[in-house]
Chain A
Amino acid sequence: MTHDEVIQSIIASAGTSPEAERPRLLQYLCEIQQQFSHIPGAAITRLAALLQMPESEIYGVISFYSFLHEQARGKYDILLSDSITDHMLGSRILLQLLCNRLGVEPGIPRADGRVSVDTTSCTGICDQGPAMLVNGRVVSQLSDRRIEHICALIETATDVSQWPAEFFLVEDNIRRRDLLLSEETAAITPDGSALRALLDTDGNSVLEVIENSGLRGRGGAGFRTGMKWRFCKQAQADTHYVVCNADEGEPGTFKDRVLLNSYADSVFEGMTLCAGIIGAHRGYLYLRGEYRYLLEPLHAVLQQRRDNGLLGQRILGKDGFDFDIEIHLGAGAYICGEESSLIESLEGKRGIPRIRPPFPVTHGYLNQPTVVNNVETFMAAAKIAALGADWFCQAGTPESTGTKLLSVCGDCERPGIYEYPFGVSIKQVLEDCGAVDTQAVQIAGAAGTTLPVSDSGRRLAFEDVATGGSFMVFNRNRNPLDMVQNFAHFFVHESCGFCTPCRVGGSLLKDLVDKLVNGHATQYDVAEMENISMLMKNASHCGLGTTAPNPVLDLLKRFPKVVEKRLVHSGYEPAFDLDAALQEARDISGRDDAGAHIETRI
């Protein structure tokens, strides 16, 4: 096929109106990127005509998502996961090795177009990192040997499909099971039990069971699921939607990866249950681009459910119970984990968070009432409908019923998935995962809370330390500053750029963190970091901006000695580094001797 034919085959219009096709824009772009390693201008022209939208807007979408490119990447496009836990496993050295062996600069495709190497935000393989993506496929457990092998495969132009299968192995690593992952009840929800509960009674009584269970959103915010579903059900509109948020982008989180790998059936059953209750006929699973490798198996699960009468027209033979699920891919944008950004992205747009109110339960996807829940929440809801509220409430605390899946990684012997009743102490988790000589834990990811080990008596629950599941362990050999710096850069990379405090403040904050790490910061800079952090917290448009300064604030509050050690004890140090400013001149003149440097520190 010619390029043009390939493009045409990808964007074969469903024959509906341009307006109805527009939500597919991002999906078209993902496929075109996958085919051509960039979005050719011809494809943009064709899409603009098909969707009747300005080309500049399509460029705007491309430029928003990290995995989409206007310029061709290498035939082998490699992205090394750049989360702090990857760093701790040596990813930075491996990146250097990879670049040296292949003769490439990070971010710039090799002159022959064979390969490009860059970094990307956490790929969600933290329990078996360092990890990378090659043409969208995950390679886990990178080592010097594996990198050498990969370089050889690239130089011999071996197609990725021919690479050793063990490179692509991603284990579930389930270390502790409780209610949800219990093997005794494993068969219960995939088989339609939750949906049968819906047939035997009416939607309202099942909804009451969900409400009585006290189930709260597992993404971290903890909104009551039953209440969300009821608000959505009550919203009058032409149609309702169910959306599963599988944009698991919070650094250090990988539980949804495991659920979608091994428990997708139950997740889909939860979505179908929700549809039956709120009266939706269409659902979407928004799958982060990093988990593209799960796409095929997930499609197979969906097809099996259709074959078994658990999805599609007349589910379980009930008239009017029609519901189907489509999978939409993300393309490298952490912000799309925020539910209104996710909806924008689902509509094919840039993932800019919406103004709220109105909330998605009344004005969500295509402005229709929409339930957006986390993967784990849907699975829990399905189990609750089948097994009852009491079954669920046997675990957890009164405020935080049930169990929580934790993604444990970092400095511990047994990283992986741990399911605990809510209320478990941090100490317990540290013991179970084999963490020794722990200095600190980072809970709920980059946007979460940093706690010194002296706080390990605290409990994981909405009423104490809330979490979406990320649990990163740092031992005493680590410098918390490295983590804070990694997160500060992460948030600058992932800010959508819509509001001033997050866009500009986040960037200023990152520069100050760099200044601190580089040993140039003063007490004045510390106060400045605090001010900018508070402004971001108070004035940002969405949760990304309000939580982005958390690592900095926690550092200043809980690790003052770490900060103190790096400070310059003068009243003021300029951010402007005279020696660094000469770098360009050094590059041009090819000099790097002592005479080409200015002694900036005494």
Chain B
Amino acid sequence: MSDAKTFSLDGVAIEFSDGDTIMDAVLKAGAYIPHLCHNPEFSPHGSCRVCVVNVSGRQVAACTQPAAEGLEVDNSSDAIVEERRNLLQMLFVEGNHVCPGCEKSGACQLQAVAYYTGMLSPHYTHFFPQRSVDASHPDTAIDFNRCILCELCVRASRDVDHKNVFSISGRGIGSHLVINSPGGKLGDSTFSATDKAAHVCPVGAILPKHRGYEQPIGKRLYDRQPVSIVGDVATHESSDQGDSHD
């Protein structure tokens, strides 16, 4: 008999080690809790709140909550799924997410998680913010319309690339991603398409240039299997072409 410590995720025992968050243990066990700002390669962030779970009547973010022996984690009740769906709807109306016209469609984690939670419409009133597209870099384009403020590019550029290309400016609903260069353009920064930061965006905000629709919509990463099976888009090289697990 194993004496490993466990908690329960919807009645299924999940083993964990000291220092694991609920999310860490669940991902290691091959189970799934929907998430956007979390990427196991980086320290937990807890900003998107999509991984909200109910632990003993209290709602917490699975990505920041330390695992503990005997916890009963509700990851799939109607109430939790409804809250998640509402959070996703909020992200959809906050930015300008036009899936049919987006190169990332089918390999977008925001879209995939929305499908997974059964989101059928944005529900809330659209903000329609005025945001720009930055095509100044030779190899990579940034479409700020699609940024969901997960700060994965901020973390990757700071902690892995050691370049600090991205940061967050503003406050509240005015918070936005900015680029550290004299004119604020990506092309004037030290960013390179080989940077880690170029490969962590869960949505279509940071995209490679000179390639488009190489794989038709309908045959892409999340078109084939749900996000709960294939996981984060960042773990799939060139997943926007949909050729990652051919």
A interface residues (Cβ-Cβ under 8 A, vs B) = 53-57, 59-60, 63-64, 333, 350, 355, 357, 492-501, 503-508, 511, 531-532, 535, 538-541, 575-576
Contacts and interface: CB of A to CB of B under 8 A. Distances in A.
A500 B91 contact: yes
Contacts of A497: 149, 168, 170-175
A492 B168 contact: no
Given A56-B179, A538-B59, A494 B172 contact: yes
Contacts of B201: none
B172 A350 contact: no
Contacts of B86: 531-532, 535
Given A355-B46, A500-B48, 16 more contacts: A54-B164, A54-B167, A57-B180, A60-B178, A63-B174, A64-B171, A350-B168, A357-B66, A494-B172, A497-B168, A499-B46, A501-B90, A504-B93, A506-B172, A535-B83, A541-B49
A508 B47 contact: no
A215 B59 CA distance: 29
Interface in B134-173: 149, 164, 166-173
A251 to B, nearest CB: 17
A539 B90 contact: no
A500 B87 contact: yes
Nearest to A575: B125
Contacts of B184: 56
B61 interface: yes
B116 interface: no
A535 B81 CA distance: 12
B87 A503 contact: no
Contacts of B83: 535, 538-539
B171 A511 contact: no
Contacts of B75: none
Nearest to A45: B182
A280 to B, nearest CB: 27
Contacts of A350: 168, 171
B46 A54 contact: no
A349 to B, nearest CB: 11
Q: Quick one: which of A53, A504, A508 has the most chain B CB within 10 A?
A: A504
Given A535-B86, A539-B87, A501 B49 contact: yes
B124 interface: yes
Given A54-B164, A495-B172, A503-B172, A508 B49 contact: no
A81 to B, nearest CB: 19
B178 A499 contact: no
B94 interface: yes
Contact of B49 (A493, A499, A531): A499
A501 B167 contact: no
**Which of A500, A508, A575: most chain B Cβ within 10 A?**
A500
B241 interface: no
Interface string B175-215: 10011110010000000000000000000000000000000
